[in-house]
Amino acid sequence: MAKKFPLRPKHPERICWGCDKYCATDALMCGNGSGRTLHPAEMLGEDWYTFGDWGIEVDEEAAPSDKR
């Protein structure tokens, strides 16, 4: 993907994550037209990027800590 992929977007349900156009859910441009692609955080939880090999380099300073 050309754009930096957000690890924890505030409202992932408002965007289609299927390509790097990041279309609004009511204005899909990529052509599938059937529905949006979910953000991994919606399917796997907020720590989705810590498991598996996503090919994403996480900047430890940019990644939110578990302490809130």
| Tens-place pLDDT, residues 15-58 | 999 888 888 988 888 766 678 899 999 999 999 988 888 888 77
What residues make up the domain containing 40? Answer: 11-55
Kindly report the number of other CB atoms within 10 A of residue 62's CB atom: 8
* Full-model pTM: 0.72
Tell me what pLDDT residue 32 has: 60
Looking at the domain assignment, is residue 2 inside a domain? no
Looking at the domain assignment, is residue 25 inside a domain? yes
- The structural domain count of the chain equals 1
Q: Are 6 and 17 in contact (CB under 8 A)?
A: no
Looking at the domain assignment, is residue 48 inside a domain? yes
Looking at the domain assignment, is residue 20 inside a domain? yes
Looking at the domain assignment, is residue 45 inside a domain? yes
Looking at the domain assignment, is residue 38 inside a domain? yes
40-53 as b/e: b if 16+ CB within 10 A:
bbeeeeeebbeeee
Question: Using CA atoms, how far apart are residues 45 and 58, in angstroms rounded to an integer?
Answer: 16
